[in-house]
Amino acid sequence: MPSNRLSKVQKHITKKKGKNVALHENSRDTRRLQSAAQRDDKLNRLAAVREKQNHPYLLRIKSFQSYTMEHGAPLSISEIQAMIEDFLGRDDEELATLKAERRPGRPPSTRETLLKQNQSMEQGEYASGFWVPDLENADNLQKLKIWNGQWSGLPTLQFARISKDGVKRESSFPPKGLS
C-alpha cells in the first residue's frame, strides 16, 4: 500500500520552502510531516494485520481452485465433502514427521502444537459447516477457475457452508461466524 498522504505533504512543503531548506523541529510543517508519517504507518500496520487474517481463507480458496481445475461440471455434496476432507488432512504428514522426530518424554514443538490446534479448529468448523466456494453452481465454478488469487476478486463468488452431515447452507463473503 503506497504511502499517499506523506508524499503529498512532502511535495507541498518542498514546493513552499524549496528543496534544501531545513525545518525547525517544532514547526508546523514538521508536525504535518510527523502526523502524515504516523498516519501512513498506522494504515500500513492495519493493512498487514488484515492481510494476515485473510491469508488462511485465501489459501483455502486457492486449494479448492486447484482441486476443481480438472472438473468441468458442478460437483455433488459428496465430492465436495471428499475435497474438504482432503484439505483437512493436508498437514497429517508433517504432523506425523514432527511427532516421529520428537524424542520420548519431550513436549511437542511449537509447530506441532500449532498444527494440532489448527486441525482441531478446522474439524470443529467442518462439524458445524465448512466455508467453501459453492461448487454446485456451474457459473460459480467457472468464476473460481478464472479467479486471480486476490482477496478483492472474491466478492463475485458465491460461498456455502458444507457440514459433515452433508447439509449445505448459503454463506456470505467475507466469512463471519456461521453465516
Q: What is the pLDDT of residue 1?
A: 47
Q: What is the pLDDT of residue 95?
A: 93
Q: What is the pLDDT of residue 31?
A: 87
- pTM as predicted: 0.74
Mean pLDDT by 10 residues, the chain (179 residues): 72 74 78 87 93 91 89 87 92 93 91 94 91 91 90 90 90 74
Separation CA 91–CA 39 (nearest Å) = 39
Q: What is the pLDDT of residue 173?
A: 81
Map residue 91 onto helix, strand or coil: coil
Q: Would you identify the CATH topology of the domain 4-171?
A: de novo design (two linked rop proteins) (1.20.1440)
Separation CA 29–CA 36 (nearest Å) = 10
**Cell numbers linked to 60:** 483455502
**Do the beta carbons of residue 80 and residue 52 sit within 8 Å?**
no
Domains of the chain, by residue range, sit at: 4-171
By C-alpha distance, which of 172, 95, 107, 97 is closest to 133? 172
